[in-house]
Amino acid sequence: MIGYVPWHPTQDVDVAVTPTLPFAFRRALPALVLAAVSLVAGCAAQDPAATRDVFDPYEAENRRVHEFNRGVDRLLVRPVSKGYTSVVPDDIETGVVRLAENLSLPADIVNNILQLNMRGAFQDGARLVVNTTVGLGGVFDPASEMGMAAPTNTDFGETLHAWGAREGAYIELPFLGPSTTRHTYGIFVDLFTNPLTYVLDSPESLIGTGAGVASGLSQRERFSETIDQILYESEDSYAQSRTIYLQNRRFRLGGTAGEGYTDPYDGAAGGGAAATTALEDPYDE
């Protein structure tokens, strides 16, 4: 049990798994994202997700970015998150995390509609209404207390998946951490999918960014054991974050995991199939 348990209702799951950074940076660093998008534009046409393989043609570059991200975490994010969570009272911290979650709902609703996931759009919409009113702008979470459906926490990367786009190559983005070609396009588009950014003027729109950054710090601390284990205790933290990100991301997009595995009891397991990450039956021997 135990292992990697990096999520929470009020948080963007793969960002938490991602050993590096909170989704606020997605807004804070559009330039970097743009650079990354152009870097990966026009990528491979195969779909590694189908075979559960790792498709990592930019590994050398990715590893350099990974070392950079690790430095950012070690020198900045990790210490700041420890300071932030020790200074700010827990109730306020939780309120900020919920606020960030609530502010991300409009974009999730847009993406749900684009995915033709009307049920998800409706559920997120109901949650938004309840938490914005009864929950005083989203600082409280009466929706969850009332037993309403969990937020979908979707993104435009998932929309692209729903539209049939392939996963593409694995990419580690500066500050943002593990991603794929498809997810990176999604991050870029999500800079524009949040309707709030069109409604709010300059100072107010910064609330979302600020809450997102603060919420990211809370999550860095909350899952610090998991993230530290991946980033600092693994003998190859790059490969470890890559496999964990890809497995979790595919699970989120594909629903249940089981189908993708193969029986390790089948012969190839101990033998020839070493290079592939497919889950096979180990008893096939």
Partner 1 sequence: MTSKLTRRFVIAAGASALGLSALPGAARALTEARARALIDRVVSDINRVIASGQPLTRMIADFERIFARYGDVPIIARSTLGADANRLSGGQMRDYVDAFRGYISRKYGKRFNEFVGGRIEVKDVREVKSWHEVRSMVYLRGQSPFEVSFLVSDRSGQDLFFDMVIEGISLRLSERTEIGAMLDRRNGDIGALISDLRTSG
Binding site for partner 1 (CB under 8 A): 1-5, 7-10, 13, 17, 144, 150, 225-226, 229, 234-236, 239-240, 242-244, 247-248, 250-252, 256-259, 261-266, 269-275, 277, 279-285
Region class of 42: left (phi > 0), else alpha (psi between -120 and 50), else beta: left
177 phi and psi angles, rounded to 5 deg: 85, -155
Q: In terms of CB distance, is 113 or 273 closer to partner 1?
A: 273
Q: In terms of CB distance, is 138 or 188 closer to partner 1?
A: 138
CA 14-19-22 angle, to 5 degrees, is 60
In the complex, what is the shortest distance from the CB of residue 140 to partner 1, in angstroms, rounded to a whole number?
14
In the complex, what is the shortest distance from the CB of residue 270 to partner 1, in angstroms, rounded to a whole number?
4
In the complex, what is the shortest distance from the CB of residue 237 to partner 1, in angstroms, rounded to a whole number?
9
Strand partners, 173: 177
Q: CA 203 to CA 178: how far, in whole Å? A: 31
The first and second tokens of residue 65, run together, are 């970015």
Q: In terms of CB distance, is 27 or 151 closer to partner 1?
A: 151
Q: In terms of CB distance, is 86 or 256 closer to partner 1?
A: 256
Q: In terms of CB distance, is 129 or 257 closer to partner 1?
A: 257
Torsion of CA 209, 213, 216, 217, to 10 degrees: -160
In the complex, what is the shortest distance from the CB of residue 248 to partner 1, in angstroms, rounded to a whole number?
5
Q: In terms of CB distance, is 36 or 244 closer to partner 1?
A: 244
Q: CA 238 to CA 54: how far, in whole Å? A: 13
In the complex, what is the shortest distance from the CB of residue 164 to partner 1, in angstroms, rounded to a whole number?
21
In the complex, what is the shortest distance from the CB of residue 249 to partner 1, in angstroms, rounded to a whole number?
8
Region class of 197: left (phi > 0), else alpha (psi between -120 and 50), else beta: alpha
Q: How far is CA 276 from CA 138, 208, 244, in A?
A: 44, 41, 15
